[in-house]
Amino acid sequence: MRAMLAVGLALIACLSWGISAFLAGTKSRVMPVLTLLMFSSMAGVGMLLFSVGVRGVPLPRDPNLLYAVLGGAGGVGGLYCLYRGLAEGAISIVVPVSALCVLLPVLTGLALGEVLHPHQVLGIMLAIGGGVTISLEKKANVNKKRLAAGILPALGAALGFGAFYVVMDFAGAVDPLWAAMVSRLSFFMFLLPAVLLKRPSLKIKAIHLPVVFAIGILDSTAALAYTNATTKGMLSLVCVISSLYPAVAVILAALILKERLRGFQFFGVVIVIMGVTLISVG
């Protein structure tokens, strides 16, 4: 039962991050990346502050909660690199490379003594492969210079997201909600110096605010769901499911923006479903 609950929470994180990434992809074309991150993070912090206030549980005095501060640093760095990579390079390169974030938490989980069943190992391989397959862009006629320009930010995103997955597992063991709160607040505090240094335009049209706020709320919801999931199941399994968010963004682009999926992308959807099913069977 706990394994199924962990899978369910990880799927919520995957869907929330995927929808957030899709919306952020549309808004990053009309405003500076730092402006988008600034306003969306404010909404996310506000949502978690409300949740903490409603629950009424005081901040735990456990030093392990400080891992969430590192989670905030990894999160802001990962998102900034991802958005920069998508602005500089091809989606078909940036998204799959950023999905390599799953390797760090999987290896960490195994190093900490987690033992996987053979069918779960197969499920992880299928989920990763299917997620990368779905994330491949329709257009591949890009020059080498453009591809190279996006690789380094994508690797930075993979490192940032991977670090977030690992440290939030440690912080979530103390209190998932407070871990998410500290992480999002740290996210905002690490972002502030970059905003002051770069001085992007903070003027944003009112018409964009609902979507920008939704991006932050979805991102915080995903962080909370993921942190809860790590307390119910193994890190090496939870992180794989949560990191399938690029596939969600691609599917949304096909449904909403009418971007057609190629045959192998539909095949990737089937592979992902098979992988998640195998992972969830303990």
Number of residues that make up the chain = 282
Instruction: For 242-271, write each residue's pLDDT tens digit.
Output: 888 877 887 887 788 776 666 776 777 678
pLDDT at position 149 = 55
The rounded distance, in Å, linking the Cα atoms of 270 and 282 is 21
Q: Which structural domain, as residue segments, surrounds residue 143?
A: 2-280
Domains in the chain: how many in total? 1
Instruction: For 91-140, write each residue's pLDDT tens digit.
Output: 556 766 777 787 788 888 888 887 778 887 888 788 778 767 766 655 55
* pLDDT < 70 regions, the chain: 89-93, 95-96, 131, 134-149, 259-262, 265, 269, 273, 276-277, 279-282
